[in-house]
Structure 1
Amino acid sequence: MGIYGQDWASYQSATPDTTGLSFAFVKVSQGLTYTNPEWTTQRDHARAAGLVVGYYHYPEMANSAQQEADRFLSLAQPPNGELVCLDWEGYDSANESVDHAAQVAYKDAWLRYVKGRLPHNPVGLYCNTEYWQSIDTTGYFQDYLWIATDGLPAGQPGISANWLFHQYADSGGADQDYCHLGSTGELRSWAASFAPAPAPAPAPAGPPWPGEYLRLQSPMLHDDNVRTWQQRMNDRGWALTVDGWYGQQSDSICRQFQQEKGLTVDGIVGPASWAAAWADPVT
């Protein structure tokens, strides 16, 4: 059980082989100045292959977490249903002088800020077991943890935390990743679950037109449809006797109402005049 994916940066092909993959994470940015020149092509390639797409940022943790996050978000602009991740590691020259407490503070600040900006996307943390077990002090990874190990089988990262992704190998020039969910569809559904629920369809403004034209006629029309319309007009503030008879008073009120609402003034309660009786604004 489980599904497989990869993570791509500029040193991978712009169009990697996606055979057997369910997801791909694409590096978008690093620090405040670097942008992966291949990221949009890699993103489009992953989408075209039907993969679940994620985006990641590599930090330079002497900088402001918010400034780096703002730049990353201005580039990535992920739609609902796609993932965002912080690649939290600091083995390079830009991060080696940043003490571990500051690195942890950066991590927490970046994740919280990005989640505030993207409440409807999964926001998570990538790190290796050394960073997770020896440097992290808060256990905070927001929505998901992507853990990296070296030499352990896929799906066995060797930690007790509730991880979702496992980077388990480097093969064929690309990092190999595993997700413990059962299918591409399950991962896609999980990611989509962060999006807001669709707004319910508006309830009908009132009862449907009964299919009967209410009009002044001889013999005089008298039924419950007339009574329903009279009651509604009365509720709207029109001085109309509710008796079920469509007489001169009903005809007069209907014409006045039609004039006010810009309808055809004919004294006949057809579909438009009936619907207007239940529509806002109430007058």
Structure 2
Amino acid sequence: MYHVHVIGTNKNGWIYKSHFTKPSATSNSGTTSQTQPLSSETTSTQTTTTGGTTSETQTVSTSSTSSATLKGLDVSHYQSLTQSSFNKMKSEGYSFVIIKATEGTTYTDPEFYTYYKYARNAGLSVHAYHMIGNSTTTASQHIAEAKHFYNVLSQTKAKTGYVFTGYAFEDVEETTSNGITATWWKNSAPVCIGYFLNEMKTLGQTKVGLYADYYDWTTYLENNTGFWPSDTKIWLARYNVTLGTEADVWQYTSTGTIDGIDGYVDLDISYDSDF
């Protein structure tokens, strides 16, 4: 288990992932904070406290150097951002940003290329997401959506001067227009996600991922991942003090704030060095 404390906030939680390295943690004014990483082949005892109460103590053995918490956020045209906004993110310790690129088979976020350029200019690690546009169970719809997403990403160099080098996520959640229901989740979601992600791989996008809500992941998807590329990154939303399941990226709030940026933003954390 991998404990997360986001520096500068009171957000704590657990991310479970076998490839994450293990940080040591100590009590600091009633919250858990990240300290120096464990050195190679050391053993130590870790005690986690929240609100002054000890919640877990365990002996940790590690054979690698642990990585730091990575702070990130995800944005779309709904946020009004400038180059200064992305510079501010970087200066406040954010490492990565995931930007909305597309939805369905025709929609392109009007700010994707602008925000991608701003983020790369600021030195952030930049990734993109596509919002699923239809709950049909036929392969052709999901393949068409993947082609649209890939086409937009393939133009990033021409539009911004930067090649797209990040992860491409499919955002699978209910919207007012895509018709996703509990029946679709139960009967069709894993294979439909597979149509999309496998097509992205076929087209040449080697880094792919999936975004889902914690409930949908644990209820419908977690035990049905065999339809997807084996290296699919998992990005989960759970607005809670704990994540409580395995993931590569955790979206822990939709009401985050950053000094100097108006309005709320989604905030994310990860220990995964790919971000």
Query: What's 1:33 paired with?
Result: 106
1:67 matched to which residue of 2? Answer: 144
Q: Is the 8 A contact 2:211 2:236 kept in 1?
A: yes
Counterpart among 113, 127, 151 of residue 54 in structure 1: 127
Structure with the larger helix share? 1
CA distance in 2, matches of 1:12, 1:118: 30
| SS of 1:5 mapped into structure 2 | strand
Give every structure 1 segment of 4 or more consecutive aligned residues whose post-TM-superposition deviation is greater than 6 Å: none
Counterpart Cα distance in 1 of 2:145 and 2:121 = 29
Contact 1:14 1:41 in 2 (8 A): no
Structure 2 CA distance for aligned equivalents of residues 106 and 95 of structure 1: 14
Question: 1:36-66: CA deviations, max 9, x gaps?
Answer: 1111111001101111110110012335111
* Distance change in 2, residues 1:9/1:67 (3 Å): same
Which residue, 208, 228, 237 being the options, matches 1:148?
237
Quick one: which amino acid aligns to residue 58 of structure 1? M
- List aligned pairs for 1:116-127, cutoff 5 A: 116-118=202-204, 121-127=206-212
% identical aligned pairs: 25
User: Aligned match of 1:76 in 153, 160, 178?
Assistant: 153
Deviations 1:79-121 (A, max 9, x none): 46321111111243322357222333221111111122225x3
Q: Does residue 1:10 correspond to 2:101, yes or no?
A: no
Report the residue type matching 1:107 in the other structure.
I
Q: Structure 1: where are the runs of 5+ without partners? A: 189-283
Cα distance in structure 1, aligned partners of 2:133 and 2:243: 26
Choose from 154, 179, 190 the match for 2:270. Answer: 179
Alpha-carbon distance in structure 1 between the residues aligned to 2:235 and 2:178 = 23
CA distance, structure 1, for counterparts of residue 274 and residue 190 of structure 2: 28
Does 2:133 align with 1:133? no
Deviations 1:9-35 (A, max 9, x none): 110123334132101000011112321
CA distance in 1 between counterparts of 2:180 and 2:171 reads 15
Structure 1 vs Structure 2 CA RMSD? 2.1
For residues 35 and 80 of structure 1, do their structure 2 counterparts lie closer, same or farther at Cα, with a shift above 3 Å needed?
closer
Counterpart among 95, 108, 113 of residue 22 in structure 1: 95
Distance in 1, Cα, partners of 2:164 & 2:98: 15
| Bigger relative contact order (CA 8 A; separation at least 6) | 2
> Separation in 2 of the partners of 1:132 and 1:124?
13
How far apart are the structure 1 equivalents of 2:131 and 2:188?
16
- Count of matched residue pairs: 178
Higher strand share: 2
Partners of 1:104 and 1:157 in 2: CA distance: 21
Q: Distance in 2 between matches of 1:134 and 1:38?
A: 34
**Amino acid in the other structure paired with 1:118:** G
* C-alpha contact (below 8 Å) 1:10/1:38 kept by paired residues: yes
Provide TM-score, normalisation by structure 1: 0.58
Rg larger in structure: 1
Calculate the TM-score normalised by the size of structure 2. Answer: 0.59
CA distance in 2, matches of 1:39, 1:80: 12
Structure 1 residues 74 and 80 mapped into 2: Cα distance closer, same or farther (>3 Å)?
Answer: closer
Give the letter for the 1:187 counterpart.
Answer: D
Contact 1:29 1:56 (8 Å CA) reproduced: yes
1:166 aligns with 2:166: no
